[in-house]
Structure formats: structure tokens, C-alpha cells
Structure 1
Amino acid sequence: MKLKLVRKMKYHFLKLLRIRKSDHVVAIGFIAGFFHCWFPTFGIGMLLSIGLARLLRGNLVAAVISGSLGSFLWPFLFFLNYKSGFIIESFFHSPNYELDDALDEPVPDADYSEAADHFNSFSDIGLNFLTGSIVNSILFSFIGYFVLRFVLKHYRLPLLRKLKRKVV
């Protein structure tokens, strides 16, 4: 099973390297296909990949390959979205009360405060996830475009030769 999966990944990577379009077109297609993977799209991800690749005039094959790659990486991307959103939120969040203000307030009912804290933590998780997914999608799209374009421009032929020898 593992051998079959590795062989299939090599095949798709080889297919990506064999695309006879310019580096720009392939990189735009790949990034356009992966852009939606940072958000929960609930089954319409591949349609978004193809639509965004057509809109940006990127390569459709590269968009489909990266969109399917992002489907397998979704649990890692979900965790990364939450963690980066939490880090970003911690930069802008500071306690805005003082000890005297806290001592003057009456103590709320224990059941109410537990429920309020519980629902407040859910909203914080959602806000952290949304913030992280927006920042990650934009940041990794720019970084990924330039890295992929550099790799395709300078290392496409050596990678093709190396993969050809190992696949056959």
C-alpha cells in the first residue's frame, strides 16, 4: 500500500514537472489550487481550485494536483491555522483591567460564569482559526509562488531526469 502511494505521488510530481507551460503559469495554477485548502470548503474544494486557476489563468493540471494534495494535508493545515491565529491574537490582546476594578465587581453566579466562559472560548477558537486561515493563505501563497517558480525555473530538468531513472 505504501509503495503504491509513493509511486502515485511520484507519478503526479512527474506530471507536474512535465507541463510544458511557463514557470509562471504552472506556479499560479499550483498556488490557485492550494489556496482554498486553508479554509473548510466542505467538498467543493476541487471546483474552487479549477475556478480560481481559470480566473488567474494558471495551469489546471497543477491546480488539481495541489488541490488534491491539500485535501490530505487538511488536518495539519487546520492545526496550523489555529496556532497562527492564536499567536496573532496574543500580539493584540492585553489584559485591560486593574486589580482595583476586579475587587470592586461583585462575584457572579458560578453556573453562569462557567457557561459564559465556555461559550466565549468557542468564539475565540473560531476567531483564531479564521484569522490564522486568512493570514496563512495569503502568506503561503506568496511564498509558495516564488519558491515553486524558482524550483521550476532552475531545477525542472534535473528533477525530471532523476525521477525518470527511479520510476522506470
Structure 2
Amino acid sequence: MKKRRNLKSLLRYIYLKLLRFKDPPEKIALSFSIGVFIGIFPTFGVGGILVILISYIFKLNYLAGLLGTFIMNYFTSPFFWALSYFVGDFILTGKFEWRGFERGSFKVFAISYLLGNFIVSTTFSVISYLVVKKIVTTYRKKRGGHKPSSS
């Protein structure tokens, strides 16, 4: 029950924070979606640094990007790991089944996982762009075009 409340609080925090940025909706959504991609893709602990670096280079909102990385957390990680493996394995073999290391090679497993993860990361990144842009645009229209402060 407590974990569920924590997840709900985290999602509410991200939602409210995204609505309060001053940037245009497209910039907020792009920043967030890059964070989603990096959050799902295995970056081995340097995801936050990558988001900040990419945001700096392309003049994006690094806070929105960092918020996007929270898509990968202890609730969602098993889902994304499994989905990544199954998508990659399906692309390589045409079957949906767990084979793990039965084929005798960590290399084959890793290729399946990384291929699937790239597709999953890209898909969720595009979806998050569309959703965040819609949410921010709708919120601003309801508020009469008022741009909230970036607190």
C-alpha cells in the first residue's frame, strides 16, 4: 500500500512539474521524451549525465528530461526488461517465448535484449512526447494561455 502511494506521489509530482515549466509544450515534451528513452535504454548509471549533456547541447529543458528518466523505476523495471527481451527475441526468431540462455550464449540473449530495448525505448519515447505535449497544451488552453512560473 505504501509503495503504491509513493508511486502515485511520484507521478503527481512529475505531472505538476511538467505543467509549470515556462518552455513551449513541444520543448517540454521533447525534453521529457529524451529522458524516457534514456531512462529505459541501458545506460549503466550515466543516464542522468547523458540527459543533462544532451539538454545542454540542444538547449532543452534538463529538468523535464530528468523527470522522464523516472519512467524506469523499481515498479516498472521488470516490465521493461521482459518486454525488451520478448520484442527482440520475436524480431530475431519470430516466436514469443522465453529461451534465456538455452541457446547457449549470453551474446544471443544480449542481442535480443538490446534490439528489443531499442524498439521499446523508441516507442515509449514517441508516446511520451505525444502525451506530454497534449497534456501541457490542454492545460495551457484551459488556463487561458497563462504560462505558469518555472518553480
Normalized against structure 1, the TM-score is what? 0.66
Secondary structure of the equivalent of 1:20? coil
The residue aligned with 1:11 is 13
Matched, 1:79 2:64: no
Matched, 1:139 2:139: no
Partner letter of residue 88 of structure 2?
Answer: G
State how far apart, in whole Å, the 2-side matches of 1:60 and 1:136 are: 22
Can you list the C-alpha shifts for 1:84-108, whole angstroms capped at 9, x where unaligned? 112211349xxxxxxxxxxxxxxxx
Decide which structure has the larger Cα Rg and report it: 1
Structure with a larger share of its residues in helix = 1
> Using a 3 Å threshold, how does the CA distance of structure 1 residues 118 and 86 change in structure 2: closer, same or farther?
closer
Work out the number of aligned pairs and report it: 135
What is the root-mean-square deviation in Å for CA atoms of aligned residues? Answer: 2.8
Structure 2 residue ranges without an equivalent (≥5): 96-101, 144-151
Matched, 1:130 2:129: no
Match 1:119 to one of 104, 118, 132: 104
* More divergent stretch after superposition (41-50 vs 142-151): 142-151
The residue aligned with 2:71 is 69
Can you list the C-alpha shifts for 1:115-150, whole angstroms capped at 9, x where unaligned? xx6523x33221110110122222332232223212
Structure 1 residue ranges without an equivalent (≥5): 93-116, 160-168
Is the 8 Å Cα contact of residues 36 and 124 (structure 2) preserved in structure 1? Answer: no
Name which structure has the greater RCO, CA cutoff 8 Å, separation 6+: 2
TM-superposed deviation, 1:157: 6.2
> Using a 3 Å threshold, how does the CA distance of structure 1 residues 4 and 134 change in structure 2: closer, same or farther?
closer
Is the 8 Å Cα contact of residues 40 and 69 (structure 2) preserved in structure 1? Answer: no
* More divergent stretch after superposition (30-39 vs 83-92): 83-92
Matched, 1:44 2:28: no
Can you list the C-alpha shifts for 1:53-89, whole angstroms capped at 9, x where unaligned? 2233321111111113324433221111111112211
Normalized against structure 2, the TM-score is what? 0.73
4+ aligned runs moved over 3 Å, structure 1: 1-9, 155-159
